[in-house]
Amino acid sequence: MEELKDVEKFLPSDADIADIRFEASDIVIYTDSKDFFLDSSDTVKKIVSKVKKRVEVRPSSKLFKKPELAEEKIYDVVSDKAGVDDLIFQPSLGKVIIRAEKPGEVVGNRGKGLQKIKEASLWDPQVERVPSIESKVVNRARELTVEDPEFRKDFLHDVGKKIRLDKSVGDEWIRIGGLGGCRQVGRSCFLVQTEESNVLMDAGIDPSAKSGSQENYPYLNAPELDLQTLDAVILSHAHMDHAGMIPYLYKMGYDGPLYCTKPTRDLMIMQTLDYIGIAHSESARAPYDSSDIKKAVKRTITPDLGDVTDITPDMRLTLKNAGHIIGSSLVHLHIGEGLHNILYTGDYNYDSSEMLRPADTNFQRVETMITESTYGGNDDKQQPRENAQKKFLSKMKQTLNKGGKVIVPVFAVGRSQEILGMLADELDRSYFDYPVYMDGMINDANALHTAYPEFLSEKVQKKIMKEGDSPFLKDQLHPIGSHSEREKVYEGEPSVILTTSGMVTGGPVMSYLKHLASDEKNSMIFVGYQAQGTLGREIQNGADTIEVNGEKVDVNMDVATVSGFSAHSDRQQIINFCRNLRSSPNKVLTNHGEEKKCFQLASTLHKALRIDTSAPQNLDVVRLN
């Protein structure tokens, strides 16, 4: 608690301090003084310079106005143009969350709007963007993020105390254990251990494995993993092969923080709730329930990209843009006082795409890198995105012109938005005018994208901000929400159908296969990776007959694969990423790829960069120091 005493020394005598608390790695000062709350910037700068931590000043319960009066004051000072949708008061934290259609109108020029709100209400305002698409799933996810602020306050203070425990940090050993995702695509999970800390990175499922089997989940029973002594969990992004088992950790007794970006948190809620729903619909049992998701959300800490955040006494975390899906992050761990630096890529894309910026390479130090190998094989070369778009649109229009329907299996998050962005451009140019149906959670994921445009490419940000130009709000886009709507699509006019799941392992795509696969007028276009053992791989490899929910279905439709839309880097892009890192790694571990691809990429990087590389298998432990 020495750090809090250091803060006290810098506070003026008239600051009228009610409390000083940790908020994870940050420090929050609660004051009874109106003057200090409204004008404390100089004092905060001095404190930050001393303690090297983020510091906030918030009003105490004695200071802020009653919520009813504060609400009236806030509406008085905020422009009607802002489209304020909701105000959520959190008295224990001294914060009011303002959800608005146009946050910029609330914030004002150089934050003047926020200052006016503080002066009028004496609450600390936090602004969130309201999605421009109505989604019950997104609404539910956002409800969970603001539940039980009293618990959050105490939890974050306890996390802060544990981070600052006075432990000896000397010549530590560091080791990484692969608990899933090694020499395979699926169930990604790594354990990083030092003498002081135990940190888990990702915990996913294997979508190609039989539900409920050991192969479906990471090796969470590994002897080196003890959930009771686990200090932190980091989630790189919210695809189920990385996030699917996060709530299970909390079910089994983990009670610590989960670190990820805000979009990743919200998507994790949506994806895992959907996972439970699909399991129930298939008369199966998910390994956790919604109460475990709530436990995870209440303990989630969401650093901004680029922020350096202490997560244990000897580890600092920095998340940076991975370019894979919205909110996806490269995970950088700085261990000890300059002892070692690890970069875990999760899934990343070192290429400009329709929706996202390329993965960030600006890391000051990287000694060990753990890279995905999805497309790291010797023959893995993706065609330029422009060529991929031409090929897709040509195949799509051929099918539509002969009166057929185009089925496009996609992940709800990532690939579906890439395809929608391309189709939106075509619609803008009036190159086609057929209906585009979206089934599964795609429309909900679209809604979330409109809530976090700052995570998207500059092109898409501008379109979302410009009224009437959002790629997610075209008149030709139609979400499917029921069986009766789906039946109209089967029987209706030529159309494009974007549907989950991306690897054809379940979900609404199965219904479209059952009704449309036997008609040679129709087509299926694969735009994403199809893992070994999935029905998608079977169809991609030319199966004449498939089994859909226990029923034999002839495959007479045209089947095409278009590479180039991938949210993963291909072999050359991975090499370029490694070369362009600000700090070149000394060691590279490959994962998240078929066994052959992991070995081939490790061999290539060894020759190209003249560094130590390997392709560990699950349950291998690699000592780094």
Q: Residue 528 domain-assigned? A: yes
Whether residues 332 and 263 fall in one domain: yes
The pLDDT value given to residue 168: 56
Pick from 432, 420, 421, 441: which is nearest to 509 by CA?
441
Specify whether the CB–CB gap between 534 and 503 falls below 8 A: yes
Whether residues 370 and 223 fall in one domain: yes
Q: Residue 144 domain-assigned? A: no
The pLDDT value given to residue 170: 52
Q: Residue 148 domain-assigned? A: no
> Does the CA dihedral 145-149-154-156 come out positive or negative?
positive
Could you say which of 536, 561, 586 is where a domain stops?
Answer: 561
202: left (phi over 0), alpha (psi -120 to 50) or beta: left
Q: What is the CATH number of the domain that holds 444?
A: 3.40.50.10890
The pLDDT value given to residue 465: 82
Instruction: Identify the segments of the chain with pLDDT beneath 70.
Output: 1, 166-171, 467
Neighbouring CB atoms inside 10 A of 256's CB total 23
Domain with 32 in it: 2-59
Specify whether the CB–CB gap between 452 and 263 falls below 8 A: yes
Average pLDDT over the chain reads 94
Whether residues 336 and 190 fall in one domain: yes
The pLDDT value given to residue 169: 52
Whether residues 77 and 94 fall in one domain: yes
Whether residues 37 and 95 fall in one domain: no
Q: Residue 260 domain-assigned? A: yes
The pLDDT value given to residue 165: 81
Q: Residue 33 domain-assigned? A: yes
The pLDDT value given to residue 469: 86
Whether residues 487 and 542 fall in one domain: yes
Could you say which of 12, 38, 59 is where a domain stops?
Answer: 59
In this structure, which long-range contacts are made by residues 357-362, counting pairs with CB atoms below 8 Å and at least 24 apart in sequence? 357/321, 357/323, 357/457, 357/458, 358/323, 359/320, 359/321, 359/322, 359/323, 359/324, 359/330, 359/569, 359/577, 360/320, 360/321, 360/322, 360/330, 361/577, 361/580, 361/581, 361/582, 362/320, 362/582
**pLDDT tens digits for range 98-135:** 999 999 999 999 999 999 999 999 999 999 999 999 99
The pLDDT value given to residue 432: 83
Domain count, the chain: 4
Angle between helices 415-428 and 385-401 (to 10 degrees): 70
What is the Cα 337 distance to its own chain's centre?
29
* Structure tokens belonging to residue 5: 């005493």
Q: What is the CATH number of the domain that holds 15?
A: 3.30.300.230
* Structure tokens belonging to residue 437: 């149906």
The pLDDT value given to residue 428: 86
**pLDDT tens digits for range 354-381:** 899 999 999 999 999 999 999 999 999 8
Longest dimension (CA), the chain: 81
Whether residues 47 and 92 fall in one domain: no
* Structure tokens belonging to residue 394: 């040509």
Specify whether the CB–CB gap between 124 and 23 falls below 8 A: no
The pLDDT value given to residue 531: 82
Q: Cα separation of 185 and 449, whole Å?
A: 26
Whether residues 268 and 331 fall in one domain: yes
Half-sphere exposure of 252 (CA within 13 A, CB side): 14
Phi/psi at 421 (5° precision): -60, -40
Half-sphere exposure of 525 (CA within 13 A, CB side): 27
Q: Residue 55 domain-assigned? A: yes
Whether residues 294 and 316 fall in one domain: yes
CA distances from 518 to 452, 515, 544 (A): 40, 7, 10
The pLDDT value given to residue 167: 58
Whether residues 79 and 32 fall in one domain: no
Q: What is the CATH number of the domain that holds 294?
A: 3.60.15.10
The pLDDT value given to residue 449: 95
Q: Residue 388 domain-assigned? A: no
DSSP string covering 133-153, please? Answer: S--HHHHHHHHHHTS-HHHHH
Question: ∠44-302-3 over CA atoms, to 5°?
Answer: 35
Specify whether the CB–CB gap between 232 and 311 falls below 8 A: yes
Whether residues 460 and 608 fall in one domain: no
Q: What is the CATH number of the domain that holds 84?
A: 3.30.300.20
Whether residues 212 and 334 fall in one domain: yes
Strand partners, 30: 19, 58
- Using DSSP, state whether 437 is helix, strand or coil: strand
Could you say which of 520, 540, 561 is where a domain stops?
Answer: 561
Q: Residue 155 domain-assigned? A: no
Q: Cα separation of 186 and 416, whole Å?
A: 20
- Using DSSP, state whether 431 is helix, strand or coil: coil
Name the DSSP class of 375: B
Q: Cα separation of 496 and 525, whole Å?
A: 10
